[in-house]
Amino acid sequence: MKINKIALSAALAALLVAPAVSFADEAEVEVEEPYQESTAEVLGIEISGDLYADFGVYTGSGQTHNPLRNADNTPQTHDAGDASRNLMKANLYINGEIGEESSWHAQLQAITDTQAEGDDFRYFRNNSEFEAVRELYFDTTLGDLDLRIGKQQVVWGTADGVKFLDIINPTDFRYWGQETMEDSRIPLWMLTAEYPIGDDGSLQLVYVPQVNVGNQISGLIDVETGDQGQQFVSLGASTITGKYNGFKNIGPDMGKVAGAFTQGFNGLMPNWANPNILAGFKGMTVGMFTGMDGQDGRPDVDQFLQSTIPGGSGYTPGSVPSGVTGNMMLSGIANNQPDNPQMPGVGATTNLMGLELNAANPSSMFDYMANTTFATFDTFVGINTAYVRDREKNDWDNGNIGLRYKGSTDGGFNYSLNYYYHYDNNPVIDVSWQGTGGRALTANATTQGFDQNGRPVGSPGAGGEAYKTSTMSLEKADGSHYDYATDGPATMVFTESQNKINTFGTSFDYAIDTPAMPIILRGEFVYDKGVKAPVVDLDKLSYGDIAGAMKNLEADFVKYIIGVDVTVMTNLFLSFQFMDNWNLDYIDETVDQNGDGVAHSRHSANPATMNMSNGMKAAEEHQIMYTFFFSKPFLESDAMRVNNIFLLENENLGWWNRLDLEYSWSDDILFSAAWNQYGGDKNGVFGQFEDMSNVQVGVKYIF
């Protein structure tokens, strides 16, 4: 309800409670209420707003990629018809004039999604889609120069469904693109200036001192829980912080297993417990140990220990029951509870190991680390993990700066030339090691040959080389060995930082009149220089160099979109887009860095899709997508409009289709409905969210 309507209602109420007069007197007396300006009119401001409610349900059963877990560590699931979201918000828009040349604008918001998991997604959070002050800026002119100062959005891109050139404001991905671009953008404090050039051109300057805000990615907000239970935690994010699949949480469980081995297989052999007993097992890998099954001439665990550690050295034959295999031992120690009478374990709650090691088709941590020696696990005893945010400071000396020239030709060809020197909106996550007191440690791998009996080549009585292993250790700054027994357990640190890049871009659109229909050709071209892109080295991971296995290396990207828009049948709008995200420094190779004769992949990875469940999936050199969009109005005065956008991944054949309907019941009330369906390859950008498919209904009241 507008301010002037409120004032009118107050005047009517005053008349109703006025002293009564006779019918005759009322016919003779005219009552005239003087007009009184509202407070808003006195201040020269206009106030409007809207109230919005949106309720969604899942269309099928499934689970998130970092699900809440039951007491037995099984994942919680949802069924078709379960609530997916319950979004309610109120927007207040305030516009005011300051003199004849200046004005100001504010958008204030009250918002909540009571169905979301965790306070970071349920209520207000600064620098996200759910913040109280969405926009607050001041406009003025200095001659021909237009200035806007304050919290705002600046839009450079025009593509449907994706953001290539639209890079000034970061994005909140809590709903994975289901919101409008205006709602999902995160407004920033900045200065924009625009100056006309000639009759058809303009030059825009953008300066953003607020640089420590990037894309808001589910799974990387509350890193202690990995945003557990939140709908759109991607495969890639769950690989870092997921409660079950996240390296950050797997690390401490791995440290417990290593500690259990140093303590005589977690108490099975108390006479054998030795703080550094594992350091001598450089010739024994996880894969070799799990291969001890007593079959085809291979020893079981008891037979191996009898031959390797004589009774006089602390091992009593039979302490590990005959017939116990390496798989049983390692899996039991990882997965069993400490009070298990047959095989005490550490009660790991993460994806450390299943019942059997499967290095050929890895899906758990130990599957990937099959070549890791027990001497390396001596380094891992008791390890901790930490997640550190190393964000840049917001100040005028360290801001993002951009220029855009926008022009057109006499023939109707519209174009822009863009440049932006800025911190990438995507975070960079690196892995490193620290000792007690935060001292930096360096991972160092040494390769050694062994004969068929596991004796080091060159040692007394050893035969010729039969195989090689690599053992990873940690070194201090002075080059000395870091020993958990004397120096304390090490910490594996995940550091989230920002990387400054150069973005060069251009866009165009051109209308072509044909006898059949008008056609608009449009496009965007972007060159990103100096991006930090993830590279996964499965060879290093196989022998335990976790920090070396996940690196971010500089890479340049070319991104482009070609689109065609047409209108047919009077008012049916159709649009088709072809998109390519091209990694110019793409890596896809097979390496055997430690020379053990087992080669593994080293490849560029997609941070949204890599996961232990898919072999730490390689990215595509050309990430190609297609979109098809249509929009058509119906009913009198176009009261109803139906829109549909379909996005298809080229290689993975993952897809997302969003069908939505809007119906204007009146000038004040708008109803909406939407159907989001994901499908295709479950390791793709869209297909991974098949279980998150949903339908939504909403209503908006405008005042």
Can you count the helices (H) and strands (E) in the chain? Answer: 16, 25
- Does the residue 473 lie in any domain? yes
C-alpha of 419 from chain center: 26
The CA distance from 316 to 271, in Å, is: 8
**Residues 454, 589 within the same domain:** yes
**Residues 616, 644 within the same domain:** no
The candidate with the shortest Cα–Cα distance to 193, out of 210, 205, 201, is 205
Say which amino acid occupies 289.
Answer: F
The candidate with the shortest Cα–Cα distance to 689, out of 130, 246, 244, 236, is 236
Domain boundary among 235, 252, 276: 235
Domain boundary among 182, 216, 235: 235
Domain housing 9: 1-43
- Does the residue 50 lie in any domain? no
The CA distance from 177 to 685, in Å, is: 12
**Residues 438, 294 within the same domain:** no
User: Could you read off the pLDDT of 522-561 as tens digits, one per residue?
Assistant: 999 999 999 999 999 999 999 999 999 999 999 999 999 9
- Does the residue 48 lie in any domain? no
CB distance 416 to 405 below 8 Å: yes
Question: What is the three-state SS of 62-75?
Answer: ECCCCCCECCCCCE
**Residues 527, 558 within the same domain:** yes
Longest dimension (CA), the chain: 130
CB distance 541 to 369 below 8 Å: yes
**Residues 329, 394 within the same domain:** no
The CA distance from 583 to 406, in Å, is: 28
Distances (CA, A) of 145 to 100, 236, 416: 15, 45, 19
CB distance 474 to 442 below 8 Å: yes
CB distance 569 to 520 below 8 Å: no
Q: What is the pLDDT of residue 7?
A: 36
With b for 16 or more beta-carbon neighbours within 10 A and e for fewer, the 532-559 pattern comes to: bbbbbbbbbbbbbbbbbbbbbeebbbeb
CB distance 443 to 550 below 8 Å: no
Distances (CA, A) of 348 to 169, 338, 343, 597: 41, 10, 14, 32
**Angle, CA 69 vertex, CA 245 and CA 680 arms, to 5°:** 60
The candidate with the shortest Cα–Cα distance to 541, out of 659, 667, 445, 460, is 445
**Cβ atoms < 10 Å from Cβ of 425:** 20
Residue 508's SS3 state is strand
- Does the residue 685 lie in any domain? yes
The CA distance from 205 to 194, in Å, is: 6
**Residues 222, 261 within the same domain:** no
Strand order in the sheet with 440-450: 384-390, 491-497, 428-434, 440-450, 467-475
Q: What is the pLDDT of residue 275?
A: 82
**Residues 216, 269 within the same domain:** no
**Residues 398, 374 within the same domain:** no
**Residues 281, 351 within the same domain:** yes
Number of domains within the chain: 5
Dihedrals φ, ψ of 602, to 5°? -125, 115
> Based on the number of CB atoms within 10 Å of its own CB, is 134 exposed (0-12), middle (13-18) or buried (19 or more)?
buried
User: Could you read off the pLDDT of 133-150 as tens digits, one per residue?
Assistant: 999 999 999 999 999 999
The CA distance from 378 to 472, in Å, is: 9
**Cβ atoms < 10 Å from Cβ of 161:** 18
**Cβ atoms < 10 Å from Cβ of 156:** 24
The candidate with the shortest Cα–Cα distance to 250, out of 262, 260, 238, 261, is 238
Radius of gyration of the chain from its Cα atoms, rounded to whole angstroms: 32
Q: What is the pLDDT of residue 303?
A: 86
Q: What is the pLDDT of residue 14?
A: 31
- Name the token pair of 548: 């070396």
- Name the token pair of 673: 């409905």
CB distance 440 to 432 below 8 Å: yes
Number of alpha carbons in the 13 Å side-chain half-sphere of residue 238 = 26
Domain boundary among 381, 416, 432: 381
- Does the residue 49 lie in any domain? no
Q: What is the pLDDT of residue 314?
A: 63
- pTM of the complete model beyond 0.85: yes
**Residues 337, 411 within the same domain:** no
The CA distance from 21 to 17, in Å, is: 12
The CA distance from 672 to 640, in Å, is: 10
The CA distance from 396 to 206, in Å, is: 12
β-strand partners of 357: none
CB distance 38 to 3 below 8 Å: yes
Strand ranges (DSSP E) for 347-427?
384-390, 400-408, 413-423
Q: What is the pLDDT of residue 667?
A: 94
Q: What is the pLDDT of residue 276?
A: 85
Note the residue count of the chain. Answer: 703
List helix spans (H) across 88-139. 119-122
**Residues 602, 465 within the same domain:** yes
**Residues 540, 410 within the same domain:** yes
Say which amino acid occupies 665.
Answer: W
Q: What is the β-pairing status of strands 440-450 and 491-497? A: unpaired
The CA distance from 27 to 329, in Å, is: 103
- Does the residue 416 lie in any domain? yes
- Name the token pair of 21: 């007069």
Mean pLDDT, the chain cut into blocks of 10 residues (703 residues total):
36 31 39 58 83 98 96 95 98 95 97 96 96 98 97 92 92 94 96 96 98 97 97 97 97 95 74 79 93 88 77 69 90 91 90 94 96 95 97 92 97 96 98 95 94 89 92 95 95 98 97 90 98 97 96 98 95 97 97 81 97 96 97 96 97 94 97 98 96 98 97
